[in-house]
Structure 1
Amino acid sequence: MTYTERFDRALLLASEVHRHQKRKGTQIPYITHVLAVAALVGNHGGDEDQVIGGLLHDAIEDGIKAFPDIRERIRGSFGERVLAIVEACTDADTDPKPPWKERKLAYLAHLRTDPDTGHLLVSLSDKVHNAGAIVMDLSVVGDELWQRFNVPKEETLWYYGNLVEIFEERVPSVLTKELGRLVRLMS
């Protein structure tokens, strides 16, 4: 498969949205995360819309304040399907965000019922990259890592455990097994 100029435009938009962000508790540019998610999607059979969805999966959540027209920009440049993928990966688009537990419960419920498993591949790729980053950071900074998050370690592990169960049921795959392996290493 080759990607079209749509991919190039998505890469530029992702860079614009995430240009000033860093990964939580690090100096790593946030754009590396969306690039890694897009690569995972592409490496696991995703089509161009899904790869673009991987590049833009956090664009609404992280960009709505600076780019109030972000939904229209995504729809206009990439179409309804890409917008649906990005919206499916968004757990909040308000400032302030709803409480953590409320957002995560709603997101888990959405994953259980989303009829489009194409959305799930992008979400799964996002969670695999995040879990991998947590495992790597744990090996460097130890349990201090958990202070970066809004909730204690137990809550994060609860969330990831639920993600594994849902993905095992909805999209059993090598990528799902990798998420389970990473979550076990997080414990």
Structure 2
Amino acid sequence: MNAKPFKLTRRFETALTYTHQLHAGQVRKGSDVPYIAHLLSVAALVLEDGGNEDEAIAALLHDAVEDCGGMEILQEIRRRFGDRVAQIVEGCTESEIIPKPPWRERKERYLQQLRCGSPSVYRVAIADKLHNARSTLMDYRRQGDAVWQKFKGGKEGTLWFYRAVLAIPPPSAHVLAEELARVVGELSENYMKSG
């Protein structure tokens, strides 16, 4: 976290615009919230954790391959933002094919990628999972158990996946992983009360 201060460059601005173009019209699962809100939140978490510009750009684009066009999009990301950004995005991608493989198979593959991924992949992935878990917890507080209906894995599968992510040792002491553990713990407590 003692990273040297830096300024975001025009590349980040370009990535913001490109992200908006890719995800325009998409909304968060089960809501009317523009999807870009999630991508901005993940990028903010990455930057607040000391991430660099490549990691922040990858955070903005981490869902582009699976949600906006597969390997063609990955090649375009590589062309626009370089190999490092493309490698992080690829490491955070569950599936590049449509239709997507079955849910459990996708999650198992993703967990293996995360185990073998770079510290940059880990940072972006944990920021993504943290924002998703926080959003789920907020929705749970508003909707109760109905929140789980929007997830293919349901309540049990979703909590299993978060716990499996947390079981992967972080590359170093990781505040985002600690926060994810706290949020997943709260979701699990609510699960035990209602289950």
TM-score normalised by structure 1 residue count: 0.94
In structure 2, the residue matched to 1:56 is 61
Choose the corresponding residue for 2:103, options 100, 105, 126. Answer: 100
Assess if the C-alpha contact under 8 Å between 2:12 and 2:57 holds in 1.
Answer: yes
- Compared with structure 1, are the counterparts of its residues 123 and 9 closer, same or farther at alpha carbon in structure 2 (3 Å cutoff)? same
**Aligned counterpart for 2:40 among listed residues 35, 42, 48:** 35
Q: Which has the higher contact order (CA 8 A, sep 6+)?
A: 1
Contact 1:112 1:170 in 2 (8 A): no
8 Å Cα contact 1:53/1:83 also seen in 2: yes
Paired residue type of 2:186:
L
User: Do the aligned partners of 2:122 and 2:170 also contact (CA within 8 Å) in 1?
Assistant: no
Contiguous gaps of at least 5 residues in structure 1: none
Q: 3-state SS of the aligned residue for 1:170?
A: coil
> For each residue in 1:53-99, what CA deviation from the matched residue of structure 2 results, as whole angstroms up to 9, or x when unmatched?
0010111111116xx73122211110000000110110011111000
Deviation of 1:172 after TM superposition, in Å, equals 2.9
Which one of the candidate residues 13, 33, 37 is aligned to 1:8?
Answer: 13
Q: What's 1:148 paired with?
A: 150
Which residue does the alignment assign to 1:120?
A: 122
Secondary structure of the residue that 2:85 maps to in structure 1?
A: helix
- Following TM superposition, the consecutive aligned residue runs of length 4 or more in structure 1 with deviations greater than 2 angstroms are 168-172
TM-score (norm 2): 0.90
Select which of 22, 29, 40 maps to 1:17. 22
Q: Give structure 2 stretches of 5+ with no counterpart.
A: 1-5, 189-195
Counterpart position of 2:163: 161
Q: 1:43 to 1:169 in 2, by over 3 A?
A: closer
Most deviating of 56-65 and 38-47: 56-65
Percent of aligned pairs with the same amino acid = 45
1:178 corresponds to: 179
Q: Which residue of 1 aligns with 2:84?
A: 81
**Which residue identity is paired with 1:180?**
A
Cα distance in 1 for partners of 2:171, 2:108 equals 17
Instruction: Give the drift of 1:152.
Output: 2.0
1:38-66 per-residue CA deviation (whole Å, 9 max, x = no partner) reads 0000000100000000010111111116x
The alignment's C-alpha RMSD in Å is: 1.2
